[in-house]
Amino acid sequence: MPRISRSKLAQETWDALVKAFPDSACSLDFDLPERLSIRGILSAQCTDKRVNLTSQELFEKYPDMNSIASASADDIAAVIKPCGLTASKTASVKDFAGRFVNEWGGKVPNDVDELMKVKGIGRKIANLIVGEIYGTPAIVVDTHCKRVMKRVGITDSEDPARVEKDMMKVFEEDKWIAIGHLSVDLGRTYCKSQSPDCGACPLSGFCRRHI
């Protein structure tokens, strides 16, 4: 079977994913922008289900960014420990809350570069924040997205920054936020790291791993 262009492949991928997952959305709880941002920080190498449970406890104890900024690192660490990477996430949560209170005027910035000044916030989480809060076109390349896009043939890279650039070339801006969520849904349901269910996958007709 001749290899199709990446633009054509992207369109087929989009059409198949939208059909398979019509209700695709971010699975992190979203009540306040600053709380979603904290959940994004906690989500690194942790399930969204665990993050939602742990953040509920965190915000019951510390309901706003002032209280988080004022709390001791040890107290924050004790609450968020179930999410893993406790030391780095504690530093990131504290840094975010401090900037929110002291530098940003109580508003999450719609600026990826500004958000990446926070300890522990990389491009993936910054893209998540601006995309979910402001609808700013941004692609969140997590482990699922990276795996799906390489297997299907949108990219040949393992580097998240390169994967993001390759995706930006072939998916229209108005699809950037959604394609990240759709890729996660596919990765969790069919395109798993180990023993992917290629036979049942909605992309099996054109995914280069399958054909």
Share of the chain above pLDDT 90, in %: 95
* Nearest C-alpha neighbor of 97 from the set 28, 34, 53: 34
Is 171's pLDDT higher than 60?
Answer: yes
Cα three-residue angle 50-65-89, rounded to 5 degrees = 45
Is 209's pLDDT higher than 90?
Answer: no
Check residue 211 and give its pLDDT.
63
The residues, any chain, with a CB within 8 Å of residue 150's CB and separated by 6 or more, are 156, 157, 158, 163
Radius of gyration of the chain (CA): 18
The backbone torsions φ and ψ at residue 169, rounded to the nearest 5 degrees and listed phi first, read -75, -30
**Is 33-134 in the same CATH topology as 6-25+140-189?**
no
What CA–CA distance (Å, rounded) separates 106 from 149? 37
Check residue 137 and give its pLDDT.
98
Check residue 152 and give its pLDDT.
96
Tell me the pLDDT tens digit for each residue of 15-43.
Answer: 999 999 999 999 999 999 999 999 999 99
Is 3's pLDDT higher than 80?
Answer: no
Q: Where in the chain are the domains? A: 6-25+140-189, 33-134
Tell me the pLDDT tens digit for each residue of 72-82.
Answer: 999 999 999 99
Tell me the pLDDT tens digit for each residue of 86-130.
Answer: 999 999 999 999 999 999 999 999 999 999 999 989 999 999 999
Is 189's pLDDT higher than 50?
Answer: yes
33-134: CATH topology? Endonuclease III; domain 1 (1.10.340)
To the question of pTM greater than 0.85 for the whole model, the response is yes
Hey, what are 61's tokens? Answer: 């104890």
What CA–CA distance (Å, rounded) separates 66 from 154? 43
User: What is the architecture, at CATH level 2, of domain 6-25+140-189?
Assistant: Orthogonal Bundle (1.10)
Check residue 1 and give its pLDDT.
47
Q: Which amino acid is at 168?
A: M
Is 2's pLDDT higher than 60?
Answer: no
